Structure 1
């Protein structure tokens, strides 16, 4: 799939919303934490011993400092996956309305492994983003969700194309010149390792070995092979401690107007990404702003577009974000 003129298609694998690759100091951190962040950006899997030596602190202190940054969600060591490796042919969002009396998303395996979950602030509704490699896998996942207790209703929107907006800058590293060193297909063990490293880019080989049932030595070889093949890259994303208001804006646009509306949306600084999707509202727009009044103003400006027939607004709070997508090469 190719993006239209003036936009960049995002591969079905986009960086954690709200994270940024930081250049320079991070607001609110002291000099020591700044050093730790800089070292993590340079090497997401730097050992605690090497980290301690570099900043001149006891290893126990360095470990505690590092753990504090991670636990406060200020840094996120993770991986990005080469777009051609992920092979997620179907990316979709499931909208779940909870049954009366339910508080929080049901504890179910079909929802627990979803990389992105958001709670609508104005309704008992959750947005759950997932992906499938085959149509059969997609249908099976949808059928499973329909049988979960505690869900009053579920609807699904398939993303046909994804585009970066004006607010995307810095959300994820662009894979300039990123070429695979091997055409080897990933197997089930590789995919489990990738899932684990997405959630924790500093996961130990011992912990990873438990999840795949291999020895620590064999697990280490597997991870290093993924790195050598250029299938994955380790990165550290940093969340600056700045409040941000977010909303999903569903738009109904005539098919002939899709391209022009998407291009205008992608030029706005308040738009992080835009999806062309299935359903009556054929555009989903992720809007961000520093405050609620700013978010309201941004949405008001967007929906004034005469080519937008109808719209729905869903202010949300992100509950889980383990995505590791990267902007695709526009070439």
Structure 2
């Protein structure tokens, strides 16, 4: 399935606001409402694009996050099979590069995070674990953008969040019916959840849908204030994930590109940025788990 400039513009808008009206989307991408409606239907019917609600991990009591680079001695698959069963690990991928596996950990607190890292390091076949503890997740389709203003969440809110995780564009009437509220009550609750940052509704895209088979992870070592580099990277279309960390490096990111030449150019551009002292990259070969 090929994507043209209008599809990509539409997806960019849907990533920002998956519940945007057809009128707002049409105005943003410069097409008519019927044209946007037809493109939306085609994208969604393909099964390669979904509109989902992404709930802030703090809603589930998860406040400590880390990125693990694992070096494995022997075959990778047995270790990956074991790690995939860890509920604290929502993302796991076999990669090519210095690491054998990449994993993300989300825990209740720093003590629980440290305990999980120790469990991972103690598994048979794990030779080394290099950890980057997140200080801020700046860009991630599986993490709501902006701050989360914590407020009490009741059973009705949890029901609405569960429905939005399945279908981010469900109507207020459908959401209300699902949790036993009036449409107006469901609307006010959903708007409150969206405004507080408890949930973000956006487009989730399978990169292979656009002929973009190159999924590249990278880490950047900086020599000063990370803010200028972060500002540039989070504005790049190819960067789908970016976090500041402490530990083995300063920034960790993921890029989706359409061929090896685009990947190389992106990495070279990052290396040339003022303040960048070093960059190391790896290629994702097999995403074994992605369950947020």
> TM-score normalised to the size of structure 1?
0.56
Shift of the 220–148 alpha-carbon distance from structure 1 to 2, 3 Å rule, reads farther
Whole-angstrom distance in 1 between the partners of 2:130 and 2:162: 26
CA offsets 1:204-228 (integer angstroms, 9 cap, x no match): xxxxxxxxxxxxxxx967xx99998
* Aligned mate of 1:99, from 73, 80, 94: 73
Shift of the 37–102 alpha-carbon distance from structure 1 to 2, 3 Å rule, reads same
Whole-angstrom distance in 1 between the partners of 2:243 and 2:145: 21
* Aligned mate of 1:252, from 221, 233, 236: 221
CA offsets 1:240-293 (integer angstroms, 9 cap, x no match): 711322222211112x33222222323433333322111242121322321111
Listed as ranges, the matches of 1:212-291 within 5 Å are: 229-230=189-190, 237-239=204-206, 241-244=209-212, 245-254=214-223, 256-291=224-259
Matched, 1:111 2:86: yes
Whole-angstrom distance in 2 between the partners of 1:226 and 1:106: 40
Structure 1 residue 307, shift from structure 2 partner: 1.8
CA contact (8 A) 2:83 2:89 kept: no
Shift of the 116–127 alpha-carbon distance from structure 1 to 2, 3 Å rule, reads same
* Aligned mate of 2:62, from 88, 107, 110: 88
Matched, 1:140 2:115: yes
- Equivalent position of 1:159 in the other structure: 134
Bigger RCO (CA 8 Å, 6+ sep): 1
Structure 1 residue 184, shift from structure 2 partner: 3.1
Structure with bigger helix share is 2
Alpha-carbon RMSD across the aligned residues, in angstroms, is 4.6
CA offsets 1:77-124 (integer angstroms, 9 cap, x no match): 643225763443211111222221343513246536522222212456
Whole-angstrom distance in 1 between the partners of 2:104 and 2:234: 21
Structure 1 residue 159, shift from structure 2 partner: 0.8
Whole-angstrom distance in 2 between the partners of 1:186 and 1:114: 26
Whole-angstrom distance in 1 between the partners of 2:221 and 2:278: 5
- Equivalent position of 1:129 in the other structure: 104
Shift of the 295–233 alpha-carbon distance from structure 1 to 2, 3 Å rule, reads closer
Matched, 1:321 2:290: yes
Structure with bigger strand share is 2
Provide the aligned length of Structure 1 versus Structure 2: 241
Whole-angstrom distance in 2 between the partners of 1:288 and 1:236: 15
CA contact (8 A) 2:88 2:107 kept: no
Whole-angstrom distance in 2 between the partners of 1:129 and 1:75: 23
User: Structure 1: which 5+ runs fail to align?
Assistant: 1-18, 25-33, 42-65, 203-218, 324-331
